[in-house]
């Protein structure tokens, strides 16, 4: 999304910010939760649903990662939690349940301790591709 900041922008003289379509409320809510320019931590609410295509993409990417490697499991948790979505959390849980020592209580405590900042969903796709 690209838009002028209402104060400092250059146009050809015909553009008027009043003619822009309003920002949808759902998009404003997402943007307001986290400012990527300041890298402020966001409070996990789980409120953002995944679109089906993203759900499939995450599921496919997880197939390429080793759930039995704790460092990979934690890093992937950070990446998934960055989406602020219970749908994404469910995918991470299902992926981790494949491990023979899966413990739901430990997993939930681990999830609560995750605070993604530098690691985001792009990390998941990068690691899966590698």
User: Model confidence over 90-125: pLDDT tens digits?
Assistant: 999 999 999 999 999 999 999 999 988 788 999 999
d(CA 99, CA 111): 16
Residue 122 lies in a domain: yes
Give dist(CA 76, CA 65) in Å, integer. 9
Q: Which residue shows structure tokens 């995944």?
A: 50
120 domain-assigned? yes
Nearest to 91 by CA among 58, 113, 45: 58
pLDDT tens digit sequence for 23-67 = 777 766 666 655 444 445 557 788 888 888 999 999 999 999 999
Question: Is 112 contained in some domain?
Answer: yes
What is the distance between the terminal CA atoms of the chain, rounded to a whole angstrom? 29
Please tell me the total count of domains within the chain: 1
- Domain boundaries, position 101: 52-129
Is residue 11 included in any domain, yes or no? no
């Amino acid at each position: 999304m690209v838009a002028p900041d209402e104060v400092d922008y250059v146009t050809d003289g015909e553009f008027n910010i009043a003619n822009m379509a309003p920002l949808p409320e759902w998009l404003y809510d997402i943007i307001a939760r986290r400012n990527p320019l300041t890298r402020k931590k966001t409070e996990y609410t789980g409120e953002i649903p995944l679109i089906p295509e993203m759900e499939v993409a995450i599921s496919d990417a997880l197939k390429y990662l080793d759930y039995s490697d704790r460092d990979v499991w934690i890093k992937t948790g950070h990446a998934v939690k960055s989406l602020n979505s219970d749908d994404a959390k469910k995918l991470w849980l299902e992926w981790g349940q494949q491990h023979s020592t899966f413990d739901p209580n430990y997993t939930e405590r681990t999830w609560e301790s995750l605070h993604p900042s530098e690691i985001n969903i792009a990390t998941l796709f990068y690691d899966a591709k590698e």
